[in-house]
Structures are given as C-alpha cells and as structure tokens.
Amino acid sequence: MKAWRHLRTILHHKSLVRRGCFRVGLYRQGIMHDWSKYSPVEFLVGCKYFQGDKSPNNAEREDKGHSSAWLHHKGRNKHHLEYWIDYSVSGDRQMAGMEMPVKYVVEMFIDRISASKNYQKENYTDESPLQYYLHGREHYMLHENTKELLERLLTMLAEEGEDAVFSYIRSDVLKNRRKKE
C-alpha cells in the first residue's frame, strides 16, 4: 500500500513539474525531471518512509541520522542547489554555492511549486513556495546570482501569480539565457 501511494506521489509531482517546464519551454527537463526517484536506493526508501504530507527523506534522516535517498538524489539532479556546492574558487578551501545555469534555477523554482502543491494539496497558495524557502534560507549555500533569481521568481509568484511569473520566465529569463549561450 505504501509503495503504491509513494509511486502516485512521485507521478503526480513529476506531472506538475512537467506541466510547469512545458509552460516555459523546458521540454527536456520536464520529461527527465527526477528520474532517479525510480532507482532502488531512492524508491525503496520512499516506500518505507512514506508519509504523504512531507518528504520520506526527512523520516529516513530522523531514523538513521542521514538520508541515503537524498544523498543519491541531490547528486544526480542539477535542479537542486546542493548539486552545485563545491570548494570556493577564492582559494580559501571553504564550501560555497556555485552559480547555477538559469535553466536549472527555473526547474528548481518549478520543483518548489510542485512539491508545495503535492504536499499541501488544498492548502497551497502562491505564497507557499516562498514561505518554505524563507523558512530555511539561512542554511542554503547559494551563489549570489542564483539566490537573486530564485528569490525574484518566488516573490513574483507570491505577488502576481503563476501566469505572470511563467510568462516572465519564458519571455525574459530564458530568452536572455539563450542569447548568452
């Protein structure tokens, strides 16, 4: 039973991300998003620790002191800020957030919306992803440019809604990225 409910949660989340990515023109990312969740190290943990209203990785972390599923997941999915943590280029041997390519910042933004909708269900509002981000912001290692873009998108979502922010992403954020590449 837990396995089926976990699979349904993954499929629903991926469907929400796919729709969002397609709305902004990130078709490949919409299709490929979170494929690692089907690997045994992630899927079986998700089944065992499934709760329905939050990530099973949190329950695994509470049980074991770490989450093998999360360590696997964040190392294979470029839309997670943790994928981009490396030694600083300043030479001080400190860990720091590297600048994320814009297309992955946009996918991360859409992922946050989709996760909030998936877990909060009817309690979701366009402010939910921003509130979740603000709750943990002091712990994130983000490059300043990545942080600025993510916060701009989350704030715009909260203030103007999905249609406005998705239009802005498509016409301004990703259009400008394509000119640079």
Residue-wise pLDDT for 81-112, tens only, equals 999 999 988 878 899 999 999 999 999 999 99
> What is the percent of the chain with per-residue pLDDT over 70, rounded to a whole number?
97
Residue 25: pLDDT over 80: yes
State the Cα–Cα distance between residues 116 and 100, nearest whole angstrom. 22
- What is the token pair recorded at 110? 């859409």
State the Cα–Cα distance between residues 2 and 105, nearest whole angstrom. 32
Residue 53: predicted pLDDT: 82
Residue 46: predicted pLDDT: 95
pLDDT, tens digit, 9 for 90 and up, residues 148-180: 999 999 999 999 999 999 999 999 999 866 444
> What is the percent of the chain with per-residue pLDDT over 90, rounded to a whole number?
88
Phi, psi of 136 (to 5 degrees): -115, 5
**E strands along 40-179, which residues?**
85-87, 95-97
Contact (Cβ atoms closer than 8 angstroms) between residue 143 and residue 84:
yes
Query: Smallest Cα–Cα separation from 154: which of 140, 168, 141, 143?
Result: 168
Residue 68: how many CB atoms within 10 A of its CB? Answer: 15
Mean of the per-residue pLDDT values for the chain? 94
Q: Helix axis angle, 102-120 relative to 2-24, nearest 10°?
A: 140
How buried is 99 (Cβ within 10 angstroms: 0-12 exposed, 13-18 middle, 19+ buried)? middle
